[in-house]
Amino acid sequence: MKTAVVGATGMVGRTMIKVLEERNFPVTELIPAASEKSVGKEIIFRGKPVRVVSVQDAVDAKPMFAIFSAGASISRDWAPKFAGNGTVVIDNSSYWRMHKEVPLVVPQINIHAIKKGDRIIANPNCSTIQMVMALAPLHRKYKIKRLVVATYQSVTGTGVKAVAQMENERKGIKGEMAYAHPIDMNCFPHGGSFQPDGYTTEEQKLIDETRKILEDQTIMVTATVVRIPVVGGHSEAVNVEFEKEFDIEDVKTLISGFPGNVVYDDPASNKYPMPLMSHNRDEVFVGRIRRDLSREKCLNLWVVSDNIRKGAATNAVEIAEYMVAASLI
């Protein structure tokens, strides 16, 4: 089972390779691919060095899977070439997510969206993944009417340059700026690029992708994305309005019983999810579960998860695992 990782030298790409190794995915040959400037470099997989190749070389190798984390334009240009060779592409960019014919998948929620013969599968945005993991079991029972979400997103979501900016600022070093503003000792409501309606592309992803994954276009969603100076994971304050009345204890049982979720909610003991506890872990942590006392049938949640792992790399590998197990190749 030859498996290519496109964007193998980036932050998410390296984590994808790590997750493939950790989960003992049955890779017979790893094909790390990257831009021309990275060709010839070596990465370590299962204790052995593996040479980075060009994307064209990876296409020519005709792998069973090609897991992408190389940006929308690379996915746009190269995913069809892999797919044309019979390779299953699992793409972490935003390019294919809202294409009607392309499944947008969180395996625990909607693996059924993948049909035998599908050759391009979209991996959702990191913020969307963790939110819908918490919400899916609740939507099935109580039906979500409206969501109001504010995110507190790690700089790792922007990449290595953003982490370097923050670290430089903490050391008092002037360096390359990934953001328009300082990030250390600061936060700003800007993720992605601004659209004419005043929302950012990151906010729009939360709106569109949530509806597609939960398979309900009637859900009303509004979002504000905020970048904060942490590296452990993304956090989200989510206000949920249901069509049906709910029971708090049942809400906790539904969330904790959903594969991949952990309810960590004991405020009296100062126990609630934080990026520090989600770092390098695959679970979605949910806490501060409480009624919205200002409105009927409304709930407040605090959701935290490692955006590089479950928010990207682990979810992509899980898709491949589910496809193999269900003979969907």
What are the φ/ψ torsions at residue 163 (nearest 5 degrees)? -65, -40
> Are 170 and 226 part of one and the same domain?
yes
> Are 265 and 210 part of one and the same domain?
yes
Active site residue 126: yes
> Are 166 and 289 part of one and the same domain?
yes
The one catalytic residue among 181, 234, 279, 298? 234
Cα gap 259→231, rounded to integer Å: 25
> Are 117 and 131 part of one and the same domain?
no
Q: How many residues make up the chain in this entry? A: 329
Q: Which residue has the tokens 């929308």?
A: 72
Residue type, 57: D
> Are 167 and 287 part of one and the same domain?
yes
Mean pLDDT of the chain: 97
> Are 87 and 45 part of one and the same domain?
yes
> Are 82 and 112 part of one and the same domain?
yes
Residue type, 185: M
Cα gap 283→304, rounded to integer Å: 9
Alpha helices in the chain (DSSP H): 11-22, 55-60, 72-84, 107-110, 126-142, 160-171, 201-214, 248-256, 275-278, 314-325
DSSP classification of residue 268: G
> Are 139 and 173 part of one and the same domain?
yes
The one catalytic residue among 99, 126, 181, 279? 126
What's the token pair of residue 74? 């690379």
pTM above 0.95, yes or no: yes
Cα gap 313→14, rounded to integer Å: 9
Q: How confident is the model at residue 329 (pLDDT cuts 50, 70, 90)?
A: confident
Cα gap 71→75, rounded to integer Å: 6
Cα gap 2→50, rounded to integer Å: 13
> Are 176 and 261 part of one and the same domain?
yes
118-176 residue pLDDT tens? 999 999 999 999 999 999 999 999 999 999 999 999 999 999 999 999 999 999 999 99
| CATH number for the domain that contains residue 279 | 3.30.360.10
Q: How confident is the model at residue 328 (pLDDT cuts 50, 70, 90)?
A: confident
| CATH number for the domain that contains residue 97 | 3.40.50.720
> Are 194 and 175 part of one and the same domain?
yes
> Are 137 and 282 part of one and the same domain?
yes
Q: Which domain holds residue 8?
A: 2-124+312-325
> Are 71 and 161 part of one and the same domain?
no
Q: Domain tally for the chain?
A: 2
Are 202 and 130 contacting, i.e. CB atoms less than 8 angstroms apart?
A: no
What average pLDDT does this structure show over 217-232? 97
